[in-house]
Copies of this chain bind each other. A is one copy, B any other.
């Protein structure tokens, strides 16, 4: 019933024949062309229904040379933040009739960036969202002559890309200021991987705020976002223990850190204060509940798509939008020496 007896799914010509019109009329109905008589439209729609007709996306893409697909390039997509953004992107794109094709890269393997990009660009995507704001990704894009418009989450720096930046610096400064206002003067920072733009921004925010308050700083430790790293870094740091607070560049590392601190027989926040970044849903249930900086990944993903597809959202979508993250005070940071 759903095919026209020739073993293939029905095409507009099949619909046309049964509706007694030309294939072009069917096409017009599909594309909401204004000058179609209501009766004709009805008839065509009904035949479509009967035949369970579905437009062939490939055929349409071939002739219009528009794939209606956007690509999402992401690293660490298993983490809460990027994963939330991807979900939001997918949903927003779908609302505009777009499909989302995903490609993950392995942050530790430089070759995978090129592979993922090649894969996406062979897909003839119309736009690209990058949730892997690493410097080398942009380098790879530049090197590969990728001329698809792209938007990047969280980059504050790169002039060429249209960026939707969470003001990572402001967030990091708020976190740092919080610790300083609690009286801490020996504060370590565990940063994200060197190559990550947001890691660098958070680090910069930390250093700026420390400098603005004339608090001497030590060199940040470069981590890899994982709780495991936070744990081992914590053990290392505690063997000297010349600090009263740590600002970790994400919540997972903060968690590992608190684990190490407790294992050493110390208490958070009595002995050492900890602040994280991201506010993953679990952070409120850590022990102690984690003071952290919240960023709205979902909103971010949504606006990313709006920016890319030029949707009406956000009035005049300039080349750059900024979202300011929010400090969430819980129990993991306290007044020093209390």
Contacts and interface: CB of A to CB of B under 8 A. Distances in A.
A136 to B, nearest CB: 19
A119 B101 contact: no
A124 interface: yes
A143 interface: no
A294 to B, nearest CB: 15
A85 B201 CA distance: 30
Given A83-B78, A104-B91, A119-B99, A58 B284 contact: no
A128 interface: no
B124 A58 contact: yes
A262 B268 CA distance: 14
Interface in A89-144: 90-91, 94, 99-104, 115-116, 119, 121-124
Contacts of A86: 77, 102
A282 interface: yes
A265 B21 CA distance: 77
Interface string A50-63: 00101111110110
Interface string A241-253: 0000000000010
B230 A285 contact: yes
A58 B55 contact: no
B285 A259 contact: yes
A136 B59 CA distance: 33
Number of copies: 2
B124 A57 contact: yes
A67 interface: yes
Contacts of A69: 101
Given A86-B102, A282-B252, A58 B67 contact: yes
A228 interface: yes
A54 B90 contact: no
A145 B231 CA distance: 51
Contacts of A170: none
A41 to B, nearest CB: 20
Contacts of A285: 227-228, 230-231, 255-256, 258-259
A238 B107 CA distance: 44
6 A-B pairs with least C-beta separation: A58-B61, A259-B285, A58-B62, A78-B83, A83-B83, A227-B285
14 contacts: A52-B145, A56-B62, A56-B124, A77-B83, A77-B86, A78-B83, A78-B84, A94-B115, A227-B284, A228-B284, A231-B285, A255-B286, A256-B285, A259-B286
Given A77-B86, A94-B116, 8 more contacts: A58-B59, A69-B101, A78-B80, A83-B83, A94-B115, A100-B101, A228-B284, A286-B287
